[in-house]
Homo-oligomer: A and B are copies of this chain.
Amino acid sequence: MRLSTRGKYGLYAMHYLAQHEHEGPQSLSRIASVGIPKQYLEQLLGSLRRNGLIHSVRGANGGYQIAKPSEEITVLDILDAMEGPLALSDCIADDRCCAKATKCRVRHTWERLTVNINRELASVSLKDML
C-alpha cells in the first residue's frame, strides 16, 4: 500500500503554495521548481483546482493560489483530490459488492480502520506542515 507520485507531488505543490499564501499567484514554473516535471504538474494542479483546493489566474502574471486559508486544508483533502478516496478494492466503495455485507466481519473491520485512517489524515493541515 503505497502513495503514488501524484499524492507526493500534490503535497509538495500545496506546501509550496501555502508558503507563498499572500504573495499573489504563483506560476506553474515556480511551483515545478521544487522538483516536479512541469507538464505533469499542470495536470495535477487541474485536479486540485477541480476539487476546490486552489484557484487559478489565467493570462500573463497568472498562476495558482490556495483557495482557502492553509489551516482549512488538510492532508486528507489533498490525497483525496489526487488519488481518490481510500477504499478496500471496490468492495467498500460499493455497498452491493458483498452480498453478505452485514455478516462480513472483514468488511466491518476495514470500514472502522478506514474511518480512523481518514481521521488521522484529516488531523494534519497545510499550516501544520509549515
Contact = CB atoms under 8 A, between A and B. Distances in A.
Interface of A: 1-5, 7-8, 11-12, 15, 75, 79, 83-89, 91, 105-106, 109-110, 112-113, 116-117, 120-121, 124, 128-130
Query: What 6 pairs across the A-B complex have the smallest Cβ distances?
Result: A8-B89, A1-B83, A2-B87, A3-B88, A5-B89, A109-B129
Given A1-B7, A2-B84, A8-B89, 11 more contacts: A1-B1, A2-B88, A3-B89, A8-B106, A15-B105, A75-B109, A109-B124, A109-B128, A112-B124, A117-B120, A120-B120
Count copies of this chain in the complex: 2
A12 B106 contact: yes
Contacts of A129: 105-106, 109
A2 B117 CA distance: 12
